[in-house]
Amino acid sequence: METQLSHNDITHKTVVLSGGVGAARFLAGLNQIVDPTSICAIINTGDDIEFHGLVISPDIDIVMCTLAGIIHPGQGWGIIDDSDHCMSMLRTLGAPDWFMLGDKDLALHIQRTALRKQGLNETQITDRFRRAFGVNVTLLPMTHDSVQTHINTPAGEVHFQEYLVRDRAKSQITGIHYHGITGAHATPDVLHSLRSATGIIIAPSNPLVSVGTILALPNVRQLIAQRHVPAIAISPIVGGAAIKGPAVAMLNYAGIEVSALGIARHYQGLIDGMVIDNVDAALAPAIEALGMAVCVTDTIMSDDMRKAHLARTCMEFMATLP
């Protein structure tokens, strides 16, 4: 099957499996310390949703807008200095308003939806958008097929965005499902990028609803497990807590220990090394006992300097692995 992008865009890259905010911050750090054209992000699309008749790809847009330098810094999503005239009018008209979309943000979704109707796929659209924003990192949606992460709660099944945004992640989780995953396929570009990668990094994203959807696609887990290059993961859990998002509740539901050690066990067989925060240094021997190398460092990416530090540390760590 032919790739959609030039082989130069997807060959011999550091490949990063990416969710939203955590991955975006890490990629922003990586973008500072290596040639951006040497980076390829495979991005979760299980969060994608249609709202007001528009196709919305939250994780793709968070990563892209972060790398473009236009992300709202306080939120980690949305566009800086955006207005809300459209949402205000929709609210007046009685339309649902729980998923806040700024006016500039809406322009992305309007154009994405229009290009979809013209026959372009998500890889082509994302590549067009990232070039328009001057982003030199290659951004690959994980699939062109419809995959939607749904959460089961005592009140019923809801889309992940409904659970996270509308219901503020307050409902008890009784199930996590990737609807459409059995018939979905990773894009040819995703598979090619993994086969030709110079290294693979699992970003500090939610292991179940961000990275998990990517790994659930046919051949992706197998390609990573059979790689001949180093692969590492950065723990999204620090001191027994999530940096952002509902990861703790989801890990508890899945029976995964909420710790850097629990994350290491979850990725066992896929990675050679684990990057954990300084506060979790005592867990290093137990992680090493799983057959992994461990790098202990500051993983809190609260500013550009710390993002770059983590990215540089990860690249140096990966270079020490066979």
Q: What is the pLDDT of residues 252-262, one digit of tens each?
A: 999 999 999 99
Q: 114: how many CB neighbours lie within 10 A of its CB?
A: 13
Summarize pLDDT for 203-233 with one digit per residue, the tens. 999 999 999 999 999 999 999 999 999 999 9
Summarize pLDDT for 294-309 with one digit per residue, the tens. 999 999 999 999 999 9
Phi and psi, residue 234, nearest 5°: -105, 125
Single-letter amino acid, residue 43:
I
Tokens of 107: 């322009």
User: What pTM, to 2 d.p., does this model score?
Assistant: 0.97
Fold that domain 7-145+185-238+257-319 belongs to in CATH: Rossmann fold (3.40.50)
User: What are the residue ranges spanned by the domains of the chain?
Assistant: 7-145+185-238+257-319
Interatomic CA distance for residues 137 and 28, integer angstroms:
10
Q: Is the dihedral of CA 78, 84, 86, 87 positive or negative?
A: positive
Q: Which DSSP symbol is given to 301? A: -
- Predicted confidence at residue 8, as pLDDT, reads 76
- Predicted confidence at residue 296, as pLDDT, reads 99
Q: Which residues pair with 54 in a beta bridge?
A: 51
Query: 79, 80, 72, 66: which is closest to 18 by C-alpha?
Result: 66
Tokens of 250: 């989801």
Interatomic CA distance for residues 269 and 225, integer angstroms:
6
Interatomic CA distance for residues 185 and 91, integer angstroms:
38
Which residues, at least 6 apart from 237, have a Cβ–Cβ distance to it below 8 Å? Answer: 247, 248, 251, 258, 259, 260, 262, 263
Query: 148, 145, 160, 130: which is closest to 27 by C-alpha?
Result: 130
Quick one: how far is CA 278 from the chain centroid? 23
Phi and psi, residue 18, nearest 5°: -130, 140
What string of pLDDT tens digits covers the 322 residues of the chain?
567 787 777 889 999 999 999 999 999 999 999 999 999 999 999 999 999 999 999 999 999 999 999 999 888 899 999 999 999 999 999 999 999 999 999 999 999 999 999 999 999 999 999 999 999 999 999 999 999 999 999 999 999 999 999 999 999 999 999 999 999 999 999 999 999 999 999 999 999 999 999 999 999 999 999 999 999 999 999 999 998 889 999 999 999 999 999 999 999 999 999 999 999 999 999 999 999 999 999 999 999 999 999 999 999 999 999 8
